[in-house]
Amino acid sequence: MGKSFINKTQQKLSHLERSRRNPIPWIGLLLVSLAVGGIKLLPTFDTWETQLRTANELEVKITKLTKESELNKLKLNEIENEFKEKSDPYLNEEKQIFPETIDTGKITKIIELFALQLENLDSNNHDSYFSIEKLNFTKSKKEKDQDYFQMQANIDFLSDRENINEFIKFLQTGKLSERFEKGLEEKKVEVVAFKFLKSNLLPLIQIESIKISPQNSNDKIFDKYSGKFQIKLFSKNY
């Protein structure tokens, strides 16, 4: 009886030992575990793969946008440089026509240089004559309800009839006439003086009064006139 029990026990132990030593059941169990784990990890892997793909796409977009931004900066710089190149002459002209303050020394030089060159514009039928006799300025002031300043100037001169009109146009526009252009070509007008008058402009001028009277002269080639102009010049500040 006891021996039979021992034999049965040994048989069970031998069967259990053989089961432990046999790898096939363990491999099957491992595969099942891996399959179950894989099923659980599959959504996580898909999410990770999607995020990785999205990150790569964003990186490509960022690189593309960076290049586009650099190109746009270059284009913007080109446009700004082109605008500056084209606008600078007009802005410079605007600053001179309506300056911050009136520079009486500069205005005096412009008018005197204009007068000297105007007197050189002789022709076959005309002896050009123009001479500034007096030029003075009052203090700049601001009238009530005005947002700009104005200065008065008085100009006394001697001239022939044609040059009076020339002088009036110059004060009103600040531009040199075709006579000056032609005088430059014929070398009657000095190049340095011409360039100075072209690049240095008078401020905005309003002619308040004009007085012209003939002068007695023994010269029968042309008549002389004395002129008195009262003008106003305008600026942004005092």
**Confidence label for 5 from pLDDT (cuts 50, 70 and 90):** very low
What is the model's pLDDT at position 55?
75
Distance between CA atoms of 77 and 47, rounded to whole angstroms?
Answer: 44
Q: Give the pLDDT confidence of 103-124 residue by residue, as tens digits.
A: 999 999 999 999 999 999 988 7
Q: What is 104-235's CATH number, 3.30.70.60, 3.40.225.10, 3.30.70.1450, 3.40.630.10?
A: 3.30.70.60
Distance between CA atoms of 103 and 236, rounded to whole angstroms?
Answer: 12
Stretch 37-42: mean pLDDT, rounded?
A: 52
Per-domain boundaries in the chain: 1-95, 104-235
**pTM confidence score:** 0.67
**Confidence label for 159 from pLDDT (cuts 50, 70 and 90):** very high
Tell which residue, 41, 67, 63, 60, has the closest CA to residue 52.
Answer: 60
Residue 227 and residue 156 in contact, taking contact as beta carbons nearer than 8 Å: yes
Both tokens of residue 164?
A: 């009076």
207 pLDDT higher than 70: yes
What is the model's pLDDT at position 13?
46
